[in-house]
Amino acid sequence: MYSLGRFGWLTHHQVTNLLFPSAKSSSDSIRKVLKRLTSEGYTYENSILRSPISQCKSYSLTRKGLNRIAEIDGLRIAIRNNSVTRQQMDSKYEYHRLVANQTLIDLRHNRKNLLFTLDLFISEHEIGTMRKDFAAHFGCVPDGLGITGDTLVMIEVENSVRGPLRHGSKLTHWLESYADRVNQEKKFSGHFLPLGIAGQYDDVIQLFVCTNHKNFRSIWRKVENVMRQHRIYSHIFYLVADRQYWVNPLKQAIFLEHNEQ
């Protein structure tokens, strides 16, 4: 239930990935636990409408479930977003959130064998209560934030082609400021005060998670223009999937670094 409180909602596959990352067995036992929690009134079960014939289920906390977590010492303060709703988010954002959540889970347990593993993370659900803080400090609101050592990982999910009428211009503003700092100082350091001592960082890297190759090409061109202008070729990485997967959405994703090659 604590995991659902942090992420807003998860599928039973994602709960299994998060709690038992090395498990070889099926996630059926987790699904049964979640269904029991639903029957006892602690969780909601929703159909993810855009999944194939709406077969994929998500689970989120009810008010009863959230109150149960708050009774456990140390967990009340750990839940950043106390909102509870029976209504699932707009269906057009479901896959975006699914991928954002999966990215944090995979990076937390290094399920993709990447260059870094997250020690801590802030989910998109939690960032929803800190939007003004992120916008004021970074000039953008990420889809997820990771901490690995003394480095922040800014995560942005690319689930469609960016255009000037979307939030592409805001992202470009962040990238330009970011690239300029890295060019001048060779790193991007600071202190994100809302996270307390955990918010002190020596550098920031940007990770774009692209749900298909078309979205990757779109964001790559925008990043390339910024990087050429500021003469840097470091700090920016991509996870690129070949298509949509509603179970384990990053299973075929490849990891790339934006460099001169």
Residue 42 CA to residue 37 CA, distance in Å, equals: 5
The pLDDT tens digits for 215-244 are 999 999 999 999 998 888 889 999 999 999
* Direct distance between the N- and C-terminal alpha carbons of the chain, in angstroms, rounded to an integer: 45
Task: List C-alpha distances in Å: 111 to 108, 123, 215.
Answer: 8, 17, 23
The pLDDT tens digits for 28-77 are 889 999 999 999 999 999 988 888 866 889 999 999 999 999 888 778 77
- Same-domain status, 83 and 108: no
Residue 110 CA to residue 250 CA, distance in Å, equals: 12
* Count of domains forming the chain: 2
Residue spans of alpha helices (H) in the chain: 2-7, 12-19, 28-39, 63-70, 94-108, 124-127, 131-138, 168-185, 213-230
End-of-domain residue from the set 34, 66, 88: 88
Average pLDDT taken over every residue of the chain: 89
Task: List C-alpha distances in Å: 148 to 97, 122, 178, 207.
Answer: 22, 12, 19, 13
Whole-number pLDDT of residue 137: 94
- Give the CATH number, domain containing residue 253: 3.40.1350
Range of the domain at 115: 95-261
Residue 60 CA to residue 34 CA, distance in Å, equals: 10
- Same-domain status, 68 and 108: no
- Same-domain status, 119 and 70: no
pLDDT band at residue 168 under the 50/70/90 scheme: very low
- Same-domain status, 134 and 233: yes
End-of-domain residue from the set 88, 109, 138: 88
End-of-domain residue from the set 63, 88, 113: 88
- Same-domain status, 80 and 138: no
- Same-domain status, 55 and 119: no
Whole-number pLDDT of residue 260: 60
The sign of the CA dihedral 213, 14, 205, 160 is positive
- Same-domain status, 80 and 99: no
Could you tell me the pTM of the whole model?
A: 0.92
- Residues paired with 11 in a beta bridge: none
pLDDT band at residue 26 under the 50/70/90 scheme: low
Task: List C-alpha distances in Å: 52 to 49, 91, 232, 245, 249.
Answer: 8, 13, 42, 10, 13
Residue 231 CA to residue 233 CA, distance in Å, equals: 7
Task: List C-alpha distances in Å: 13 to 10, 28, 31, 96, 249.
Answer: 8, 9, 8, 16, 11
- Same-domain status, 77 and 134: no
- Give the CATH number, domain containing residue 11: 1.10.10.10
- Same-domain status, 5 and 68: yes
- Same-domain status, 37 and 80: yes
- Residues paired with 255 in a beta bridge: 239
- Same-domain status, 81 and 134: no
Give the SS3 label for residue 210.
strand
- Same-domain status, 71 and 114: no
